[in-house]
Amino acid sequence: MTISFIIPTLNEESVLEKLLKNLKSVTAVDCEIIVSDGKSTDKTLEIAGRYGVKIAGNASGRRQTIGEGRNRGAALATGEYLVFLDADVYIPEPDKFFARALDKFKLNPRLKGLSGWVRVFPETETWADYLGYVILSDWQFYIKNNWFHSGSTCGEFQMMTAEVYRELGGYREDLTIGEDIDLFYRISKLGRTKTDPKLLVYHTGRRPHKIGWPRLIWQWVRNSLHVTVFDRSHSKEWKVIR
């Protein structure tokens, strides 16, 4: 197996099928899809079952962090590369996308982690979305990864070698937010991380659309400072937005 796609879910019936169709259209790469569910009460598991994907369940009896969800999914993975995706994303021309991504790893043996450009779907993207994701996020991650070699990226799309994931023990499960940036930072200490703007991933932008960009940016900054200074997230729970 070349790539294992891992999707943490919690009540994702409105978006999951679109992503599964998207990934099932991949034919140029040997791949598997794993849905790691956090006790959904809607039709998420029914949809996943219809597509014949692997399913990792939450047996803890409590709501799992997204780090726990990703790690449970990765425990079932057999791929040489792990691709972690949020359930509300979509990848245009996935065969070309992942052929390019794999070439990046093959051409640079030191490359251990790869991210792309994240945009809100064009039909719903606002000017605030463009500023928030492209200016504040995409360019920030591009500069950190490609110029300063200090790994950082968001969780909508993260690709890494299974070897480095396992060497580092995966995502920190105690972080309610920032576990994606934390893992990429740790990866950059063992090898190179890159952001490729030509690897374009769309998503719904449902969180800033629901709570507003000023509040979201404040949450990002506050939690980032807490992780840096106190080694823990400020937010006790990352509120579900559906």
- Enter the DSSP assignment of 75: T
Q: Name residue, tokens 């679109």.
A: 18
pLDDT of 223 reads 77
Each residue's pLDDT expressed in tens, for the chain with a length of 242 residues: 799 999 999 999 999 999 999 999 999 999 999 999 999 999 999 999 999 999 998 867 677 899 999 999 999 999 999 999 999 999 999 999 999 999 999 999 999 999 999 999 999 999 999 999 999 899 999 999 999 999 999 999 999 999 999 999 999 999 988 999 999 999 999 999 999 999 999 999 999 999 999 998 888 888 777 777 778 887 777 778 88
Measured from the Cβ of residue 135, the count of other Cβ atoms closer than 10 Å reads: 10
Superfamily of domain 3-230 in the CATH hierarchy: Spore Coat Polysaccharide Biosynthesis Protein SpsA; Chain A (3.90.550.10)
Q: Is residue 231 exposed (0-12), middle (13-18) or buried (19+ Cβ within 10 Å)?
A: exposed
**Comparing C-alpha atoms, which of 116, 111, 109 is closest to residue 137?**
116
Measured from the Cβ of residue 61, the count of other Cβ atoms closer than 10 Å reads: 6
pLDDT of 61 reads 67
Side chain identity, residue 54: K
pLDDT of 57 reads 83
In angstroms, the first-to-last Cα distance of the chain is: 33
Where do the domains of the chain lie?
3-230
Q: Name residue, tokens 């990703």.
A: 70
Report the DSSP beta bridge partners of residue 84: 6, 158
Please list, in sequence order, all residues whose beta carbon lies within 8 angstroms of the beta carbon of residue 224, skipping any fewer than 6 positions away. 178, 181
